[in-house]
Amino acid sequence: MKVKVASLSAHLPQKIVTNDDLAKTLDTSHEWIYTRTGIESRHLSSDSELSSDLAIEAAKKAIARVNLNPKDVDGIIVSTTTADRRFPSCACRVQGEIGAEKAFALDINAACCGFIYGLSVSDSMIKAMGLKNVLLIGAETLSKFVDWTDRSTCVLFGDGAGAFLLQPSQDDSSGIIATKLYSDGRKEKYEYILAHNGPQNDNRGYTTMSGKAVFKCAIDCMAISINEILDENGMTIDDIDWIVPHQANRRILEALCRMRNFPIEKVIITTQNHANTSSSSIPLAICDAMAKGTIKEGDTLLFTALGAGLVWGSAIVRL
């Protein structure tokens, strides 16, 4: 039995902020941001929009596309680093708001690699527990966790949510082929949020990043995880129709391709319009590519990501 992607969807906040918009209040420019990141614009949530709000909209779209009754959803897993509150979970709010009365609900925090971690957990739970319908959602409002006076970090991030409806399938021609996960807690200092590093009386904290160290780790770790997951499944890059990486920085993706001789033409890149949306970046990129007709049903996709922790991993999925 394989676990297939029965439906997928994306939801982005309405507000779009360009590099030129940021240059009005920061010591920066469109050229400075774009040449270093490949980012041109990003969607930002309003003050009243929470990560769970974005997750709810993505979930509703995913189940509506296959006319699934919310009462038939068995589980909801939300991958997020920007939960509305410490508890209860974002997933619990999604469960209540969409009317998934019998679904379990849990959050996963594996930073920018969260969707791949969630995919692995969902795959295992469906197979072990005999579940029929699981919603996996990546949802982030990172704009609420950056210092908007720090041009080295605030220009990098955007908000959004993407959802997969996962179901068991006896058809081996499609579904999750493999997932592979890694972590190295010794490198936690490279990227983090501390509750006390924000302004006085602000308990949210700000994103702190060692840019050069993360850049190098991302290239090295993703390259290794791609090679290992392909080797372990008797595949080569020629068996992959599209590489869908975490959309952190276009320069990272270009360097990854140069290092391992991957064809850049096979890489889905949406950093220019989404910026870094952490755990929601992979489903957002897939939905964007499918809407444009780039990715099609039957294509074999390779996901890869690295996030704070450090955590990283890859997955192979045939749609």
Q: What pLDDT digit, counting tens, does each position of 150-182 carry?
A: 888 899 999 999 999 999 998 888 899 999 999
As a residue count, the chain comes to: 319
For helices 114-129 and 281-291, give the axis angle rounded to 10 degrees: 90
Right CATH for 175-318 from 2.60.120.10, 3.30.70.100, 3.40.50.300, 3.40.47.10:
3.40.47.10
Concatenated DSSP letters of 75-139: EEEEE-SS-SSSSS-HHHHHHHHHT-TT-EEEEE--GGGHHHHHHHHHHHHHHHHT-S-EEEEEE
Average pLDDT, the chain: 91
Name the token pair of 195: 């509750």
CATH 3.40.47.10 range(s) for the chain read 2-169, 175-318
Per-residue pLDDT tens for 212-227? 677 777 788 888 999 9
Q: What distance in Å separates the CA atoms of residue 112 and residue 93, rounded to the nearest whole number?
A: 22
Catalytic residue numbers read: 112, 246, 276
Contact yes or no for 79/55 (Cβ under 8 A)? no
CA-CA-CA-CA torsion sign (253, 270, 266, 227): positive
User: Which amino acid would we find at residue 11?
Assistant: H
Block residue for tokens 């200092």: 189
Statement: residue 191 has pLDDT above 50: no
Please state the pTM of the whole predicted model: 0.92
Res 185: pLDDT: 82
Specify the CATH architecture of the domain 2-169.
3-Layer(aba) Sandwich (3.40)
Per-residue pLDDT tens for 52-76? 999 999 999 999 999 999 999 999 9
Mean pLDDT lowest among 83-97, 106-120, 181-195: 181-195
Confidence of residue 145 (pLDDT cuts 50, 70, 90): confident
Contact yes or no for 108/24 (Cβ under 8 A)? no
